[in-house]
Amino acid sequence: MKKQLLSVSAFYRNDQPDGIGISISAELFPPGKLEEIINQLFKDSDADWINHSYEENLDHYFGQLRAIVKNKDQMKGFNEDISDAVLVISCVYSLEKHGPLQSDEFNGIQLIYVK
């Protein structure tokens, strides 16, 4: 039996006022769609590290996270529009895999699967 992705969470400085933590549930999509989105997102993020310099990627991904965190108080929720949640996942994934972000209880990506 193939495992199914139940949810994806991303955390960046989640213990700080200027941090963020988000989750996206597979229930928001048709079966298998969240996993398809996340797999493509990870491939695209990995390609950035091949096509751009390390410094450009750090500026890009940290800049996007800072912009989202700055505006997070104005967000109404990710259920209405998940684009910011997907962007946070992309940034945290990229910085954790290729950059300086160290995974711990306040930083990183969490993928929850069920068999």
In this prediction, residue 75 carries a pLDDT of 55
Confidence of residue 69 (pLDDT cuts 50, 70, 90): confident
pTM of the full structure: 0.86
Angstrom distance (rounded) from CA 108 to CA 89: 9
Confidence of residue 77 (pLDDT cuts 50, 70, 90): very low
Confidence of residue 79 (pLDDT cuts 50, 70, 90): very low
In this prediction, residue 101 carries a pLDDT of 93
pLDDT at 73 over 70: no
Angstrom distance (rounded) from CA 92 to CA 108: 6
Give the pLDDT confidence of 17-68 residue by residue, as tens digits.
888 888 999 999 999 999 999 999 999 999 999 999 999 999 999 999 988 8
Among residues 98, 6, 2, 1, the alpha carbon closest in space to that of 44 is found at 98
Angstrom distance (rounded) from CA 52 to CA 99: 13
Share of the chain above pLDDT 70, in %: 91
Angstrom distance (rounded) from CA 4 to CA 38: 12
